[in-house]
Structure 1
Amino acid sequence: MPAWLLFTLFLPAATAAADDLAHLNDEFAARATLGDWNLFHQRFGWPDKIKHLDIGATTDGALNLQPHHSAWVRDLNAPFLFREVSGDFDVRARVRVRGAERAIAGGTWSLGGLFARVPNGLTAETWQPRRENWHFITTGVGHVAGEQMTETKATLNSYSSLKLRPFPSGWVELRLVRVGMALVALARPDGESAWRVRDRWYRMENSRQMQVGLVAYTTSDEVAPAPEDPQRINRSVDTQAATDMMLEVDWIRFRRPALQVSGDWYGQVSGNPLAEVNLSERELLGLLGD
């Protein structure tokens, strides 16, 4: 038996009774719950890049989030609704990204999904470059118009590294799991029981606090390419540029991961099984559970 597997067998598994994150869940059945969410722009003093936001009005029984021209990449920011989570988490959401009149979002870089960001203590007033650290998994249209993808992206000190992979359109479940210094992104289309691993990361992350929630961003063909200036871009909103993208969220649910490992730094670097380079996808899914 591998030493890392033996290490995990003697750690307590998370139980429903011990799960302290259930109060963060939202089935989006009542409009009033929108007030329970932190809006990134309100919390930190940025301009509002949300084109439309409601619960139940546009899409029955779901949150509907439509962004203006925007992006989460490098030092740029976009619409983000979050809860504050301390420690490990397993967050899932049933989502759909589409256009107003078609199943695929318009334009390019029109994606939405799950986002986990490390707080950096900065506001619009105190902003500094190269301080963004986050991970996400989204679905929608990437670089090629009309092609549905998942995008996974990791950003370390505002340097973004991403992956685009083909994925079915329509309703999908997205999942983001943090176990210590490891994070795993998964997805599965409606009607499928098996999770598909879309990405996995391992990094030295000292902060137990993360902002976890829902992100949406899109680009408009009417905005001409220009040098990327986050000071200018983050502080302005183009409300006239045409966009055709909406993120619908049926529900979002939080819980502690089934896998628990030692929380101290040495336990992480010497025994976190999700960091094993030879860990197969089957073994990974077995450790994470359904």
Structure 2
Amino acid sequence: MRVLMAFVAGLLAASVAWPAAAQDDLATLSDEFDGGSLSGWTWFHEAYGWPNKVKKVDVGVTTPGTLHIEPYHSGWIYDLNAPFLFREVHGDFDVRARVRVRGAEKAIAGGTWSLGGLMARVPNKLDSKTWVPRSENWHFLTTGVGYVAGQQMTEAKSTFNSYSSLKLRPFPSGWVELRMVRVGVSIIVMARPEGETAWQVRDRFYRMESNPVMQVGLNAYTISDNVPIGADNPDVVNRTVNRDAPVDMILEVDWIRFSRPKVQVPPDWYTQVSANPLADPGLPEADLLAMLGN
């Protein structure tokens, strides 16, 4: 037991170095996508030497004032990777984005597993040359089509050491707001349809994560129905771009906005594991939303 407690203490000790809200204004990371460029953003594939699975991207060309992303056949699950555009965030954050996932001619994306939205990934320092399996750790909340074609959903997914678990829940199509809040060991993901003011909690994640830095931004992925479903070898799939498989998925992002959370919890490891109110599984959703604010 003492060995275990020592391990936990060491794992979380780095959280003491997390900057206080007053020391780092995250608003400078926000982007309204009205400047015509992606200055300050990093593509996952460029940072780590993977092939580019972005079929098309532009800012304000296809739709004025909007980031437009179309992915090739790809997916964020287990060890697989897909398009991901991020900024590095130190410490706690509250990130929101107004997004729409659609097809080229229809309001709902074609095929299945065609989704996009917010993602927060823990950097692991591995690139395409040094890659090893079971090293991916991330959380996300996306909107689009899941397992059943033609049905709009949100997908809340958490991956720990490349083991992914997810929740699919029905949600309106069209423009929606997605939100992800990190407070220490707790990450809460929420969504609300266009025109509504109340947030809907889509999932609560609890993660004993020692790294104060996360890569936070936007992902997009789609599965072509023409590609047989089977056991995917990530060492092969991640190094291959399937440009021939027909896909019909577009992610549009009106804006993404970063801030520090309303809730602040001392970052020392013991307070996080014993008194972080967001980590209480019995906390009613109404109380949770009241603490996070609108």
1: CA distance between counterparts of 2:23 and 2:199? 25
Q: 2:229 aligns with which of 225, 228, 232?
A: 225
Partner amino acid, structure 1, of 2:204: R
Per the alignment, residue 5 of structure 1 pairs with none
Partner amino acid, structure 1, of 2:213: Q
CA contact under 8 A between 1:185 and 1:197: conserved in structure 2? yes
Per the alignment, residue 181 of structure 1 pairs with 185
Per the alignment, residue 70 of structure 2 pairs with 66
1: CA distance between counterparts of 2:287 and 2:96? 20
Shift in Å, 1:90: 0.2
Q: Does 1:107 align with 2:79?
A: no
Per the alignment, residue 30 of structure 2 pairs with 25
Q: 2:212 aligns with which of 208, 215, 231?
A: 208
CA deviation digits over 1:130-186, x for unaligned, max 9?
000000000000000000000000000000000000000000000000000000000
2: CA distance between counterparts of 1:149 and 1:54? 25
In the TM superposition, structure 1's runs of 4+ consecutive aligned residues that sit over 2 Å from their partners are none
Per the alignment, residue 77 of structure 1 pairs with 81
Paired residues in the alignment total 275
CA deviation digits over 1:62-106, x for unaligned, max 9?
000000000000000000000000100000000000000000000
- Residue segments in structure 2 that go unaligned for 5+ positions in a row: 1-19
Of 219-228 and 102-111, the range deviating more from structure 2? 219-228
Partner amino acid, structure 2, of 1:215: N
Shift in Å, 1:227: 2.1
Shift in Å, 1:18: 6.3
Identity %: 65
Root-mean-square deviation (CA), in Å?
1.1
Secondary structure, in 3 states, of the residue corresponding to 2:94?
Answer: strand
- Residue segments in structure 1 that go unaligned for 5+ positions in a row: 1-13
Q: TM-score, normalised by structure 2?
A: 0.92
Secondary structure, in 3 states, of the residue corresponding to 2:39?
Answer: helix
Secondary structure, in 3 states, of the residue corresponding to 1:185?
Answer: strand
Secondary structure, in 3 states, of the residue corresponding to 1:109?
Answer: strand
